[in-house]
Amino acid sequence: MKTFVAKRVVLIMGGGIAAYKCLDLIRRLREREVQVRVVMTAAAHHFVTPLSVGALTNERVFTNLFDLDDEREIGHVRLARDCDLIVVAPATADLLARMAGGHANDLATSVLLATDKPILVVPAMNPHMWMNKATQRNVAQLKADGVHILGPAIGEMAERGEAGVGRLVEVPEILMAVERLIGGDQTANAAAPRPPHDVSMASQRQDVLTGRHVLITAGPTHEPIDPVRYIANRSSGKQGYAIAVAAARLGARVTLVSGPVSLPDPAGVDVVRVVTAAEMLEAAQAALPADIAVFAAAVADWRVAKPKSEKIKKGRGEAGVPKLALTENPDILKTIAHLKSRRPALVIGFAAETQTLVAHARRKLKRKGADWIVANDVSPGTGIMGGDRNTVHLLSAAGIESWPDMSKDKVAERLMARAAADLSHYLTARTAAE
């Protein structure tokens, strides 16, 4: 387990049902030797007690802006500054609105307004509250102000029968975001020597992609048949999201163009959500220029030529089965790799195949004009589509490298470390070609 020795987090707990999950978050942070000071809103007291929070943090719990003892002891401005990170979880719709509006009408918002430290907001609310234009406006404002927003996740709500986007992101995901923002210290093995030329060494350096822009596509695309039906595939988006996290860790500015997936936005990454292949191409082009582009999305090859604007009615028998005329989708990898101007210096494509993997990938490398192809076997027995592990082969003009089976996070780290190490070569080649 990574520890964050001597790191200090202020956790601001809002009044939402998910507040109970933040008790576990406190425990996990304490296990990692993080000092946790908690500010609870008045509404949060209805969901968890300051007594349980204080017992877990081993610190006094701060609740009232006008508490004379608290103000004398530490004061809201010091509370806001004497930390490495402020985490707002659960962030209620109301807290988001107060933050976006610059309010300071209670201790939580006063601390948030007085801080000069990074802020990680983890919203949780009913899906209708989340999708409400006012909430979306507030979230957009907070993002523009440099606040990191994590989630919310998709799933069932505490209220019976309610499901959608609004769940608090799971605690391990929040811990990962905290780690990205305050940095970890692998005390157990920090001093262990590493083998020479290990590309994972680059992943230990946090700055190798600072000043670089990395564009990543991830997830499936959904191609509409009519307003309620669509053509899709089994891509989970996990590999592309892991690559986005790995690139951000190396200091890059990251744009992640994501098809419909149930993964939360990684902290510190600009996420553009799209649905169809055409939208994905448009968003990818709009994100240029980029230094590195990784096309990990499983883009639908075909779409319905003329999707219906009304739901297709079920007809009777065979004669009533609609015939779908398909047409080709734009080839995003090929389009961007063949751009005359604004082609990213290093273009990486993914090839998911179920047979003759390497031969297909070789052809793809040539046909698409990519610099590298990451090929993986997604046959049903492999569990790669939707799973957490991947076995890949990296193809380039220099040859083929087969990597052992590893987690998608490790594949991402290794790929980005390699891209960072080789980028100068591709930048020189691009300059020479211009």
Ligand X SMILES: Cc1cc2nc3c(=O)[nH]c(=O)nc-3n(C[C@H](O)[C@H](O)[C@H](O)COP(=O)(O)O)c2cc1C
Closest CA to 102 of 58, 137, 141: 141
Kindly state the smallest distance separating residue 17's Cβ from ligand X, in Å: 5
Please identify which residue in 4, 15, 182, 408 interacts with ligand X, judged by CB under 6 A.
15
∠ CA 345-349-352, rounded to 5°: 175
The letter for the amino acid at 181 is L
Of 149 and 245, the one with the shorter C-beta distance to ligand X is: 149
Of 92 and 203, the one with the shorter C-beta distance to ligand X is: 92
- Provide the token pair at 399: 């040859």
Of 5 and 42, the one with the shorter C-beta distance to ligand X is: 42
Site string for ligand X, 58-97 (x = CB under 6 A): ----------------------------------xxxx--
Kindly state the smallest distance separating residue 130's Cβ from ligand X, in Å: 8
- Provide the token pair at 197: 């030329």
∠ CA 11-17-18, rounded to 5°: 50
Please identify which residue in 25, 44, 48, 242 interacts with ligand X, judged by CB under 6 A.
44
Kindly state the smallest distance separating residue 40's Cβ from ligand X, in Å: 8
Q: Which of 138, 233, 329, 390 is catalytic?
A: 233
Segment contacting ligand X (CB under 6 A): 11-19, 29-37, 60-68, 111-119? 11-19
Cα dihedral 424, 428, 431, 433 sign: negative
CB 179 within 8 A of CB 267: no
Cα 56 to Cα 61, 147, 204, distances in angstroms? 10, 27, 32
Please identify which residue in 25, 26, 38, 41 interacts with ligand X, judged by CB under 6 A.
41
Kindly state the smallest distance separating residue 94's Cβ from ligand X, in Å: 4
Question: Total residues contacting ligand X (rule CB under 6 A)?
Answer: 15
Closest CA to 172 of 29, 57, 48: 29
CB 39 within 8 A of CB 78: no
Q: How far apart are CA 47 and CA 398, in angstroms?
A: 59
3-state secondary structure at position 413: helix
Please identify which residue in 16, 127, 152, 268 interacts with ligand X, judged by CB under 6 A.
16
Site string for ligand X, 104-143 (x = CB under 6 A): --------------------xx---x--------------
Q: How far apart are CA 262 and CA 167, in angstroms?
A: 11
Segment contacting ligand X (CB under 6 A): 38-46, 209-217, 346-354, 355-363? 38-46
Q: What is the DSSP letter of 381?
A: G
Of 44 and 218, the one with the shorter C-beta distance to ligand X is: 44
Of 106 and 291, the one with the shorter C-beta distance to ligand X is: 106
Of 93 and 284, the one with the shorter C-beta distance to ligand X is: 93
Angle between helices 238-249 and 171-182 in degrees, nearest 10: 30
Q: What is the DSSP letter of 61?
A: P
Q: What is the DSSP letter of 292?
A: E
Segment contacting ligand X (CB under 6 A): 41-49, 51-59, 264-272, 383-391? 41-49
- The count of residues in the chain is 434
233 is catalytic: yes
Question: Within 136-175, which residues bind ligand X (CB under 6 A)?
Answer: none
Query: Which positions touch ligand X (CB under 6 A)?
Result: 14-18, 41, 43-44, 92-95, 124-125, 129
Q: Which residues are catalytic?
A: 233
